[in-house]
Structure formats: C-alpha cells, structure tokens
Amino acid sequence: MSRLLKLSRLLKRRREEGEKKTRKTAVKNRKVYMSACLLIQIFNGGRENKKGKMIAQEQKPIEEILGYLKGKRKVAVVGCGGCSTFYRTGDKAAVEKRAEELMSKGKEVLKIVLPFSIQACEIEKSGVWLEKNRKKLEGYDAVLVLSCGSGVQVVADYINEKMGFAVPVIPANDAIGLVGGGPRSLKETCQSCGMCELGKTAGICPLTECGKGLMNGPCGGVREGDKCEIDEKKDCAWVKIYKRMEQLGELDKFEEIRDPHEWSKMKRPRLFEIENPVGISEMMGALPGMLSTMLGPKPKLDE
C-alpha cells in the first residue's frame, strides 16, 4: 500500500512540475509574441490599431482570375506582407503557387514578393518594390495583386496615376471580413464583401466609391465638375471608372451590363478558420528581414 502511495505522490509531483513548466513556456511564448507585435507596430510607424484589425480573405478560383486575364499573356503577380501573409493568401508561397498556375496556362509571369510587414495598401512602402520593377512592369499586360480590395486599389492608383502608365490591376483574393490586425485606414476602400468586383471595374470599387453603390454606370445626378450628387466634395466613382477604362483602352467594358452584386457572403457573423496560421517562430524568424527593410538601404531600382 505504501508503494502505491509513493507512486501516486510521485506521479502527482511530476504532473505538477509539468503543469508549472507548461505555464512558464506559455508566459515566455506570450512575451515573445507581444515583443514581436510591439516591434512590428513600432517599425510600421505606430499605424496599427491598439485593438488590432486584420482583413480575413480567401483566394479566388483560378477560373475567375483567368477570365479577367483573357487575352493577356504577361502577368505580374504582386504579394502582400500584411494580412494576406497571415492568411496565406499573399505570402511568398501564395505568390509562387499563383505564378505556377498561370505559367501552366501559358502566361509569362513576373513575381513580386513583398516582405513580411510590407502591406500592399501602404504604398509608401510597397511602392518601393513596384518602382524597383518599373521597367519590367511597363511591358506587362496585367498586374494580379494577392491582397484585399484595399491593396488592389492602392496599387492600381499608384501604377496608373503615379508611375505614369496604364495596366489593368486584377484582384486575386476575396476579402471576407475585418477580423483583427491591419493598418488604420483614412479612407474606406473595401467593404470586405466576399465577392470582389474590382476585375470588372478597372480596379475602382463602385460599392465603396459610389455613394449609391451603383453597379452599372453613374446616376442622373452627377454634379458639375464630375462630382457626386450625394457629396459634392467627392468625385463621381463612375466617371473615375470611365476615365480609368479609357486609359486602359477597355471602354467596351463600360457598356457591359453587370449583374446585381452578390451579397450572400455578407451574412453575420461571418466565421473564418485558418488551417495553418502564422506561428510565433515564423514571426520572430521574419524580424531580421523586417528590421533590415525598415532600417537598411532601400532596394536598388531598375537601372
């Protein structure tokens, strides 16, 4: 009986020691995680929301993307080092996968991977990588952006307005909800509707840009100077879409009749599961590269 009692006490002591070790490991991991988040916040210029916001997203079917890329042979695939990296929809592996799919369909592909913490929507950072590939991009037929709708629109605006040449910018993902961790926005550009329409409207979202959310051209109340009927300080979204399509040589698309927007993915609350979320070790492993990106010299531009 005494032997059983001793064995019981031994097992209890080992269990308690194991639980204590587990608690210590959990505390240590949490400290590491919080340190990583703090460093990311510091080197992102304090833009992160204190509560944390991140746009959940999923990849579009390749068939839909190929429809947008019909008649376009040379395609640049641009990743995102922010939310899309966390959800595995815009990290290096995602860029490689999309590139392989497109190359298997006979496309010539330029891969532009954005490092961890370099979000497509933060153009002062992502623009460096676009400028680095300026000469190559000028010869491409389309740009496929692996980010939420906000990143797609920011990249489209930058290429078509700042870099000075016209190229269609196509979404590769569907944003399905603001669920925690991304940069604070000054302007709403994406509703995370789950059915991205940007491939049909030259990279400008009519659901967020148009005060009435119209899908088939402007209303009859466009003000003088192409201003919105609802807000005279805003440009009419459909005039902007028309001008962008004209710039791209795709005015025939303007006359297409678009179906009413599909809102079925906007059911509340929307649930999202990640099969393989980014772990603490990956976050910490990416810190040296992030620090060198933030503090070191910028990548050399095309000669």
Sign, Cα dihedral of 27, 29, 30, 36: positive
Mean pLDDT of 128-137: 92
**88 within some domain:** yes
Tell me, yes or no, whether 59 and 113 share the same domain: yes
Q: Name residues whose C-beta falls within 8 Å of residue 252's C-beta, 6 or more positions apart in sequence.
A: none
> Where residue 64 falls among pLDDT bands split at 50, 70, 90?
very high
The pLDDT value given to residue 298: 63
Domain membership of residue 142 as a residue range: 51-200+271-295
Tell me, yes or no, whether 93 and 135 share the same domain: yes
> Where residue 7 falls among pLDDT bands split at 50, 70, 90?
low
**262 within some domain:** no
Separation of alpha carbons 243 and 82, rounded Å: 30
- pTM beyond cutoff 0.75: no
The pLDDT value given to residue 5: 62
Separation of alpha carbons 127 and 149, rounded Å: 17
The pLDDT value given to residue 263: 87
Tell me, yes or no, whether 20 and 115 share the same domain: no
Q: Name residues whose C-beta falls within 8 Å of residue 137's C-beta, 6 or more positions apart in sequence.
A: 76, 110, 130, 143, 159, 163, 165, 167
Tell me, yes or no, whether 75 and 143 share the same domain: yes
The pLDDT value given to residue 86: 84
Tell me, yes or no, whether 71 and 121 share the same domain: yes
Number of domains in the chain: 3
**303 within some domain:** no
> Where residue 117 falls among pLDDT bands split at 50, 70, 90?
confident
Least confident stretch, 9-18, 35-44, 240-249: 35-44
The pLDDT value given to residue 163: 92
Higher pLDDT, 282 or 90: 90
**263 within some domain:** no
Tell me, yes or no, whether 31 and 80 share the same domain: no
pLDDT tens string 235-272: 999 999 999 999 999 999 999 999 999 888 877 666 66
Tell me, yes or no, whether 193 and 82 share the same domain: yes
**300 within some domain:** no
**302 within some domain:** no
> Where residue 51 falls among pLDDT bands split at 50, 70, 90?
very low
pLDDT tens string 205-221: 999 899 999 999 999 99
Q: What is the mean pLDDT of the chain?
A: 80
Mean pLDDT of 145-151: 93
93: domain CATH number is 3.40.50
Separation of alpha carbons 112 and 258, rounded Å: 31
Helices within the chain (DSSP H only): 2-43, 62-68, 83-86, 92-104, 123-132, 134-137, 149-157, 206-209, 237-248, 280-295
Tell me, yes or no, whether 72 and 3 share the same domain: no
**30 within some domain:** yes
Tell me, yes or no, whether 231 and 110 share the same domain: no
**288 within some domain:** yes
Mean pLDDT of 69-84: 94
Tell me, yes or no, whether 229 and 285 share the same domain: no
Tell me, yes or no, whether 208 and 190 share the same domain: no
Tell me, yes or no, whether 85 and 25 share the same domain: no
